[in-house]
Amino acid sequence: MNQEGTKVCTRCFYQIDRPSFQQSTGLGEDESTDLLDQLMSEIEEDEEENEPTTPSFAFDDLTVEVSQYGEDDEVQLDRKPDFDPFTPTSEEIDDEYELTADDIPQFVQKFEVPRGTVEEEEILDPRTIELIQPNAETPDFIQPMESNEIIEANEMGSPSREVAGIEEDDFDGDGKVDEFEEAFARVDPPSSDASPIPPAPSIPIPKITATPIVEEMNPEPIETPVQIPSAPILQPEEEGPVDISYQGSSSFWPWQQQDEWPVPEIIKQLQAAFRSAKDQNKAQTTVLLDEVGPHLGNRTSLIYSVGKLLMSIGRNTEAQRMVESAYETNPEDPDVVRAKEKLIS
């Protein structure tokens, strides 16, 4: 802090009693506010001190005696002056110097290659690495399963396929042979001992002579323009109420029902579908089932067989909806109750 009555700040040398535009530097010629100017002045002073002085020689240091009456002009000095420091020494350089074999250096190194430290390579120990690491431990005992015992369904909780212990005539696997399965078993496969068909007899082709037809030139009729009658003006009539009610029976099958096929044709188609399911041919089973599905009619006795085929190709949801819809429509039907117990429960 500045004392009271001070006109110049002791730290920044600001003149307190004057405005900023009337401030004076207050520095002499030998003073400077710039650090660089001060350093340069010190360098100039050092250069002035180190400047070489020009050599000078004064005769006051010598006593010269000259004979005035002698015939020679000899000058005698009491001592010999030293002029060596005043004369520059010049080195004699021979411009026509020739190189000889002695000037060749003994060792010549064209390129200087840095020599670094040689790192020793580590010898890696060979070891085996497991490419596949299991996420869980493998059980000690694994029971192999046959391909026909594996559940082939897309949804969780689907009933297992009862394949083991199925008789040849028991296609649906319920342990009983019903009338439809008996009809499937009665169908005889086509016999391979059929007699070959004889070739068709060769009949000579008769020759037909063509007679030329003379075309008669008929005069072309003249077309007369037809007058189109104007449309009659109809009076608007009151529209009666439209009966929107649709009387139709809702089907429980997962297909839109069309014309109903006879029983032997349905049995033949379902029998082929069961054979494809046993051979695990899902594509052929799907084609046969979708072909006969729209023509089943209202036969509730086929619900279990069709539901079993749907589950074999992985369409468990459709089979469950079909059985539930049939049970809501016919809750007292024994075939529907049996299908619900075996397929859903």
Q: Break the chain into its structural domains and give their ranges.
A: 251-343
CATH number given to 251-343 = 1.25.40
Residue 325: pLDDT over 70: yes
Rounded to whole angstroms, how far apart are CA atoms 279 and 285? Answer: 10
309: closest CA among 284, 343, 273, 279?
273
Q: Which residues, including other chains, have CB under 8 Å from residue 261's CB and lie 6 or more apart?
A: 269, 292, 295, 296, 297
- Give the DSSP H or E segment for 219: none
pLDDT band at 127 (very low <50, low <70, confident <90, very high): confident
pLDDT grade for 153, boundaries at 50, 70 and 90: very low
Query: What's the mean pLDDT in 66-74?
Result: 63
Instruction: Give me 117's structure tokens.
Output: 């430290």
pLDDT value for 159: 47
Q: Calculate what percentage of the chain has a pLDDT beyond 70.
A: 53
How high is the mean pLDDT of the chain?
A: 71
Q: What is the distance between the alpha carbons of residues 173 and 153, in angstroms, rounded to a whole number?
A: 18
Percentages of the chain per state (helix, strand, coil), in multiples of 5: 30, 0, 65
Relative to beta strand 64-66, strand 75-77 is: antiparallel
Q: What percentage of residues in the chain have a pLDDT greater than 90?
A: 0
Local confidence band at 190 (pLDDT 50, 70, 90 cut-offs): low
Q: What is the C-alpha separation between 274 and 295, in angstroms, rounded?
A: 17
343 pLDDT band, cuts 50/70/90, is confident
Instruction: Give the pTM.
Output: 0.30
Among the residue ranges 184-188, 245-249, 269-273, 322-326, the one predicted with the least confidence is: 245-249
Compare 39 and 6 and report the one with higher pLDDT. 6
- How high is the pLDDT of residue 279? 87
Residue 218 has pLDDT above 50, yes or no: yes
Would the pLDDT of 18 be above 80?
yes
* Coil, helix or strand at residue 144: coil
The tens digit of pLDDT for each residue in 298-318 reads: 888 888 888 888 888 888 888
Q: What is the pLDDT of residue 186?
A: 64
- Could you give the CA distance from residue 111 to residue 100 in angstroms, rounded to a whole number? 25
Which residues are within 8 A (CB) of 22 and not within 5 positions of it... i.e. 6 or more apart?
15
CA 254/CA 153 separation, integer angstroms: 18
What gap in Å lies between CA 71 and CA 140, rounded to an integer?
144
The model's pLDDT over 223-264, given as tens digits with 9 standing for 90+, comes to 666 666 666 666 655 444 433 333 334 578 888 888 888 888
Distance of CA 9 to the CA centre of its chain: 74
Q: What is the per-residue pLDDT for 241? A: 43
Can you read off the two tokens belonging to residue 140? 């000690």
Predicted local confidence at residue 231, as pLDDT: 62
Residue 225: predicted pLDDT = 65
Distance CA 235, CA 3 (A): 119
Write down the residue that tokens 């900023």 correspond to.
20
Q: Which two tokens stand for residue 17?
A: 């009693």
93 or 72, which is more confident? 72
